[in-house]
Amino acid sequence: MVRLSISRHWREKGAYYRLEGIECLDCGKRSYPPAPVCPHCGSRNVRRVKLPRTGRLLSYTITYSIPEGFREYAPVMLGLIELDDGTRLVSQLTDTKPEELRENMRVEAVLRRVQVDGEYGLIHYALKFRPHRPGGRKE
């Protein structure tokens, strides 16, 4: 099992919990996850921004062959998400069944438990995406 240090997890909590990305002040494009350099133009003139928590599912894949230690999570559904501001990212899909997925469906970010490091260890959470629920949290 992969173990993440508490300090690394703490440093990256903005990306994990608040869906923070970067906006390039030179080319104007946004990207996720946050990085010190714009992946579009190479500029270091970037700032952290809070990204929208809703978007649409562009494409997806379903994996049924899961490594030992993670089989309880099978099947794993991964989606290419385009957020409402145009930022694209890959994320795990949750709170749905494989047969309910469809391209261009509205999705929203939700916080879910990912892993527990040992019996008394750190509990890791991350954002995943689920089908959008009208009347739910909107940002």
Token pair for 25:
């002040």
H-run or E-run covering 17: helix 13-17
Distance CA 81, CA 90 (A): 6
H-run or E-run covering 15: helix 13-17
| Domain extents in the chain | 6-131
Domain spanning 6-131: CATH 2.40.50.840: yes
Pick the residue with more confidence: 121 or 31?
A: 31
pLDDT band at 138 (very low <50, low <70, confident <90, very high): very low
Pick the residue with more confidence: 28 or 119?
A: 28
In 7-131, the DSSP E strands lie at: 20-24, 30-31, 46-50, 54-63, 76-83, 88-93, 106-116, 123-131
Q: Which residues neighbour 131 within 8 Å (Cβ) at sequence distance 6 or greater? A: 95, 96, 100, 105, 106, 107, 108
H-run or E-run covering 9: helix 6-11
Please, what sign has the CA dihedral across residues 103, 52, 95, 2?
A: positive
The pLDDT tens digits for 40-97 are 999 999 999 999 999 999 999 999 998 887 788 889 999 999 999 999 999 999 999 9
The structure's pTM equals: 0.80
Does 12 have pLDDT greater than 70?
Answer: no
Q: Which residues neighbour 19 within 8 Å (Cβ) at sequence distance 6 or greater? A: 32, 50, 51, 52, 53, 109, 127
Token pair for 97:
């069944």
Residue 42's pLDDT is: 97
The pLDDT tens digits for 81-124 are 999 999 999 999 999 999 999 999 999 999 988 777 776 677 77
For 19-36, what is the mean pLDDT?
95
